[in-house]
Amino acid sequence: MDLEHADLAPDTLTVAAGRPPRAHDAPVNAPIVLTSTYHETRIPEVGDRIYARGSNPTWDPFEEALGALEGAPLPALVFGSGLGAAAAALSLVPTGGAVVMPRHAYAGSLTLAADLAAQGRFELRTVDVADTAAVLAELHGLAARFDAGQVMLWLESPTNPMLEVAELSVLTAAAHALGAVVVADNTFNTPMVHRPLEAGVDVVLHSVTKWLAGHSDVVLGALVTADPALRGTLLTHRTLHGAIAGPFEVWLALRGLRTLALRMERSQATAAFLAHRLVDHPAVRRVRYPGLASDPGHERAAAQFNGFGGIVSIELDDVATADAVVAAVRLWIPATSLGGVESLVERRRRQPAEPATVPASLVRLSVGIENPEDLWADLDQALRVAAGG
């Protein structure tokens, strides 16, 4: 008898889910299928593959594994990028509806939503997602003006790069009571740290580019839902808008996913180690990391999550010092993005789209899997050079 996914722990699922059926001489890994179309020996029926914009066998094992990891009874949907997945999720808002987003959500998601709002697709409201009362007030205000089903609550927790932590279950329950649909961007946590569907969220979004694929070599996105009707709508959107993933990228993402549990464990342990040392560093003005007992999001993160993630944000004295730190690292790589095996460092506000409320001297650290003392030594020398020079 086959193993049931529900009986397996997440770290086992990363390895065991999405394998070809056990049969003598069968491969252990799913193959990459490069095809744009499929043989038809009869008139196609619903569910037949037909054409590769609609489906590719290489997507299936990845979608099965990610769905199982998020605790969904349905496979995930893979997209050509995280923002492709975000665009599909936003398409669930009826024209003339409204979207509530964290003011410090990922800058690309905010820019996309603002662009759609400017075109008149929906009204966009931004909130401090860590301020539960403020989010509830915004939702109630919208409920007075919009019909049920016209409002979407977009959650991202922790936020990128401010690492603010939202009360996901409380906000989701309140949104549902008002008839709103809830999307949660789970890119930072990954299902190893938190499974938003268990908090009642309707749709989970991933930039697979980051921790899930984990090697900074692909751009991919995904959506996960436990609702068959929502999944059907999102699948139709993917097929018709065409933001599909290449088979090779998805194959690489599944290969990366196999080591997600180990990578996250290591990145989180090193992130905590670095955060604690950075707190005492004379050149660092403030450390944001939910794993620090002093962090405003600490208690919520400890109560809701199974870990504190692999991202640490630090604030320096000023922009020049922050840029000097980024220029002085030799092991850390100055680059945008996050969640790879290699540690990356970036001053976020150098990007014009970054919200102005993100401090200009904030540097985001994406902690990889290198030796922790090597990472510390490089960061320490860069901070000293920046502070002294």
Ligand X SMILES: *Cc1c(COP(=O)(O)O)cnc(C)c1O
Q: Footprint of ligand X on this chain (CB under 6 A)? A: 81-83, 106, 108-109, 156, 160, 185, 187-188, 207, 209-210, 219, 221
Give the nearer residue to ligand X in terms of CB position, either 110 or 386: 110
Contact 343, 329 (CB under 8 A): no
> Measured from the CB of residue 185, what is the shortest distance to ligand X in angstroms?
5
> Measured from the CB of residue 218, what is the shortest distance to ligand X in angstroms?
9
> Measured from the CB of residue 140, what is the shortest distance to ligand X in angstroms?
27
Q: Which of 121, 125, 195, 210 is catalytic?
A: 210
> Measured from the CB of residue 258, what is the shortest distance to ligand X in angstroms?
20
> Measured from the CB of residue 243, what is the shortest distance to ligand X in angstroms?
10
Q: Which of 19, 49, 53, 384 is catalytic?
A: 53
Grouping H, G, I as helix, E, B as strand and the rest as coil, residue 97 is strand
Phi and psi angles of residue 223, each rounded to the nearest 5 degrees, phi first:
-125, 145
Give the nearer residue to ligand X in terms of CB position, either 159 or 270: 159
**Which residue(s) pair with 344 in the sheet?**
333, 366
- Tell me whether strands 151-156 and 122-127 are parallel, antiparallel or unpaired: unpaired
38 is catalytic: no
Give the nearer residue to ligand X in terms of CB position, either 186 or 304: 186
Give 113's contacts (C-beta < 8 A, 6+ positions apart). 90, 99, 101, 124, 154
Give the nearer residue to ligand X in terms of CB position, either 204 or 382: 204
Cα 184 from Cα 137, distance rounded (Å)? 19
> Measured from the CB of residue 90, what is the shortest distance to ligand X in angstroms?
12
Give the nearer residue to ligand X in terms of CB position, either 5 or 238: 238
Nearest to 92 by CA among 229, 286, 185: 229
Give the nearer residue to ligand X in terms of CB position, either 83 or 365: 83
CA angle 152, 233, 43 (to 5 degrees): 175
DSSP output for 251-299: HHHHHHHTTHHHHHHHHHHHHHHHHHHHHT-TT-SEEE-TTSTTSTTHH
Residue in the shown chain whose Cβ atom is closest to ligand X: 82
DSSP output for 154-210: EEESS-TTT-----HHHHHHHHHHTT-EEEEE-TTTHHHH--GGGGT-SEEEEETTT
350 is catalytic: no
Residue 31 has which token pair? Answer: 């193959």
210 is catalytic: yes
From residue 151, alpha-carbon distances to 67, 124, 335 in Å are 25, 10, 36
Q: Which of 121, 125, 185, 202 is catalytic?
A: 185
Q: Which residues are catalytic?
A: 53, 106, 185, 210
